[in-house]
């Protein structure tokens, strides 16, 4: 598992290559296998592989989402806040499960934060994504996970770079781990 975590990097450039349906199905299973508080599963997912929709979603934020236009798949992660008061945590767990599954399948991915971001001065990113994909008002959009075959290489994370000064044992400020 640690080798997978070391390899997983945010990929923003994708090959012009379709992601096979079998791999997309595995990503969905990874999302649906995600743990959720009290088993409420407040999340819902929209798999987007339509180029025009991806192009529109690439404009979801004022900055930081344009690369979605080059991705063959985007998975929009939503939740109903009425189902669970910790929907943000539950959708975050599902989002990272999708990313780890993508890495395991030989795919690149990148999290695009939507919640608490703006599309424009007049509209939030969540409102914009809801309009583009006809998402009901009761759902909130947490993220979009861009997925595809990487068209860039990034070195794995190094254990030497881990910030062990942020680790304490038994109480904050105690001797470093």
Mean pLDDT to the nearest integer, 24-43: 98
> Using 50, 70 and 90 to split pLDDT, how confident is the model at 177?
low
How many Cβ atoms are within 10 Å of 168's Cβ, its own excluded?
12
pLDDT at 27 over 80: yes
What CA–CA distance (Å, rounded) separates 85 from 166? 29
Q: 97 with 30: CB under 8 angstroms? A: yes
**pTM of structure:** 0.95
Q: What are the structural domains of the chain?
A: 2-166 (3.40.109.10)
What CA–CA distance (Å, rounded) separates 39 from 20? 30
pLDDT at 67 over 90: yes
> Using 50, 70 and 90 to split pLDDT, how confident is the model at 176?
low
Residues 52-78: b if buried by 16+ CB within 10 A, e if exposed: ebbebbbbbbeeebebbbbbbbbbbbb
pLDDT tens string 119-134? 999 999 999 999 999 9
């Amino acid at each position: 598992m640690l080798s997978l975590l070391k390899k997983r990097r945010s990929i923003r450039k994708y090959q012009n290559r379709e992601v096979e349906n079998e791999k997309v199905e595995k990503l969905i299973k990874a999302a649906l296998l995600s743990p959720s508080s009290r088993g409420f599963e407040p999340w819902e997912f929209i798999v987007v592989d339509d180029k025009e929709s991806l192009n529109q979603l690439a404009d979801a934020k004022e900055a930081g989402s344009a690369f979605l236009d080059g991705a063959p798949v985007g998975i929009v992660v939503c939740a109903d806040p009425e189902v669970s008061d910790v929907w943000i945590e539950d959708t975050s767990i599902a989002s990272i499960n999708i990313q780890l599954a993508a890495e395991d399948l030989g795919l690149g991915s990148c999290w695009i934060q939507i919640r608490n971001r703006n599309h424009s001065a007049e509209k939030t990113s969540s409102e914009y994504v809801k309009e583009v994909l006809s998402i009901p008002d009761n759902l909130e959009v947490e993220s979009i996970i861009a997925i595809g075959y990487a068209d860039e290489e990034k070195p794995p994370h190094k254990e030497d770079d881990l910030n062990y000064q942020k680790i304490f044992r038994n109480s904050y400020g105690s001797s470093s781990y």
